[in-house]
């Protein structure tokens, strides 16, 4: 580190700092403004400091049922997280060997990732609508009469909504798994096999502990992407709304800082999840360093 840094370093460092300020500045503006006094408006200056607007959000005054949307988003986020982790790890393992349809699955995942969200959302909405129509029209003939009569829709948070979110989170999970296994030393598994481990034991005691920090990272992506997902949910969520959708709706109607308070609360959840995930990753890595490798230490 001793040698002198070139002038370009300082220019680029300044650019980088400006970029970070650009990223964070506006966010902190609304975090501060959400503590606006009771008479304060949507912009600076602060008119006193208070928790008035947080109280408004919790009491639900003037805002649609935020508490319920909050819980819905939380539940959906957790389910998406678990499914993303399970499916991504399974697919990641499968991709280490070539299998039939591997490249089709890969390109599908990439396409799903870069497909404009509105198209995915529209497609899912159509799919469920057509399914509903079909059931209502033909259900009676198929002996499902009583059932079809009361049928309204299959669309909902945990059917179409869940599906829409998975088309967004799974590609990220898969790409992270690729990144992990690109650097993974396959000889570790061979060693485990040579020592008589079953495939499951190899996975459970050798592979999983090594990839665990990254798996936590996939979970982090799964939850946060679902928690904030908007475009894909917009048409596919059914009759109830998730938190980001409510928030987007509020941008056109609300003129008081309670929208900032809600934004601050939503971000607080995000930051909490990020902090927990990063802490877990750090702890896991520290443990790996402590227990992990005794290579090169010789016989003690």
Partner 1 sequence: MMFVFALFFLLPLVLVIIVSAWDYNEYQMLPAFSFRGYTDTFEGCIAELPNLCTILKTYLKTVKLCLITWLLTLVIGFTVAYFLAFHVRTKTWQIVLSLLCTIPFWTSNVIRMIAWIPLLGRNGLVNKGLMGIGVINHPLEWLLFSEFSVVLALVHLFTFFMVVPIFNSMVRIDKRLIEAAYDAGATGWQTLTNVVIPLSKPGIVIGSIFVITIVMGDFVTIGVMGGQQIASAGKIIESRLNALQFPAAAANAVILLGITILIISALTRIVDVRKEL
State the minimum distance, in angstroms, from the CB of residue 280 to partner 1: 14
For 69, the enclosing helix (H) or strand (E) is helix 66-94
Give 73 or 202: the residue with its C-beta nearer to partner 1: 73
For partner 1, which is the closer residue by CB, 63 or 109?
109
Cα–Cα dist 94/115, whole Å: 24
| Residue 165 near residue 233 (C-beta atoms within 8 A) | yes
Q: Which is nearer to partner 1, 252 or 298 (CB)?
A: 252
Task: Decide: helix, strand or coil at residue 49.
Answer: strand
Which tokens sit at 148?
A: 């079809």
Task: Report the nearest approach of partner 1 to the CB of residue 140 (Å).
Answer: 19
Shortest separation between residue 195's beta carbon and partner 1, angstroms: 31
Nearer to partner 1, 2 or 298 (CB): 2
Minimum CB distance to partner 1, residue 62 (Å): 17
Query: C-beta of 299: minimal distance to partner 1 in Å?
Result: 31
Burial of 263 (0-12, 13-18, 19+ CB in 10 A): buried
Backbone angles phi, psi at 49, to 5 degrees: -120, 130
Closest to partner 1 by CB, 54 vs 260, is 260
Give the shortest CB-183-to-partner 1 separation in angstroms: 12
Yes or no: say if 190 and 164 are a contact pair by the CB < 8 Å rule. Answer: no
- Element holding 119 (H helix, E strand): helix 117-138
Nearer to partner 1, 8 or 141 (CB): 8
Give 192 or 229: the residue with its C-beta nearer to partner 1. Answer: 229
Report the nearest approach of partner 1 to the CB of residue 300 (Å): 29
In this complex, which beta carbon is closest to partner 1, that of residue 119 or of residue 195? Answer: 119
The contacts of residue 70 (CB under 8 Å, 6+ apart) are 243
Tell which residue, 180, 173, 202, has the closest CA to residue 190. Answer: 202
Q: How far apart are CA 44 and CA 150, in angstroms?
A: 53
Q: Is the dihedral of CA 167, 170, 174, 176 positive or negative?
A: positive
SS3 of residue 34 by DSSP: coil
- Distances from the Cα of 62 to the Cαs of 59, 91, 202, 243, 253, in angstroms? 9, 46, 56, 16, 10
The nearest distance, CB 279 to partner 1, in angstroms, is 13
Half-sphere exposure of 288 (CA within 13 A, CB side): 16
């Amino acid at each position: 580190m001793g040698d002198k840094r070139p002038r370009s370093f300082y220019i680029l460092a300044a650019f980088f700092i400006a970029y970070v300020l650009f990223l964070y500045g506006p966010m902190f503006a609304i975090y501060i403004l959400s503590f606006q006094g009771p008479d304060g408006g949507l912009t600076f200056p602060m008119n006193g400091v208070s928790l008035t607007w947080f109280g408004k959000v919790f009491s639900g005054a003037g805002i649609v049922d935020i508490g319920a949307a909050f819980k819905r988003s939380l539940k959906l986020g957790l389910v998406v997280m678990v499914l993303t982790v399970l499916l991504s790890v399974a697919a990641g393992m499968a991709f280490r060997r070539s299998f039939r349809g591997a490249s089709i699955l890969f390109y599908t995942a990439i396409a799903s990732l870069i497909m404009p969200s509105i198209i995915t959302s529209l497609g899912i909405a159509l799919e469920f609508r057509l399914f509903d129509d079909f059931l209502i029209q033909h259900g009676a003939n198929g002996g499902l009469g009583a059932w079809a009569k009361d049928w309204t829709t299959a669309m909902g948070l945990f059917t179409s909504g869940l599906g829409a979110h998975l088309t967004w989170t799974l590609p990220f999970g898969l790409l992270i798994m690729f990144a992990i296994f690109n650097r993974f030393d396959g000889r570790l598994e061979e060693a485990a096999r040579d020592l008589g481990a079953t495939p499951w034991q190899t996975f459970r005691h050798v592979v999983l502990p090594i990839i665990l920090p990254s798996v936590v990272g996939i979970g982090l992506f799964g939850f946060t992407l679902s928690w904030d997902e908007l475009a894909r949910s917009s048409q596919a969520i059914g009759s109830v709304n998730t938190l980001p959708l409510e928030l987007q709706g509020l941008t056109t109607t609300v003129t008081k800082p309670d929208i900032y308070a809600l934004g601050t609360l939503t971000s607080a959840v995000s930051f909490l999840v990020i902090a927990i995930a990063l802490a877990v990753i750090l702890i896991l890595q520290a443990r790996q360093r402590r227990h992990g490798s005794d290579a090169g230490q010789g016989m003690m």
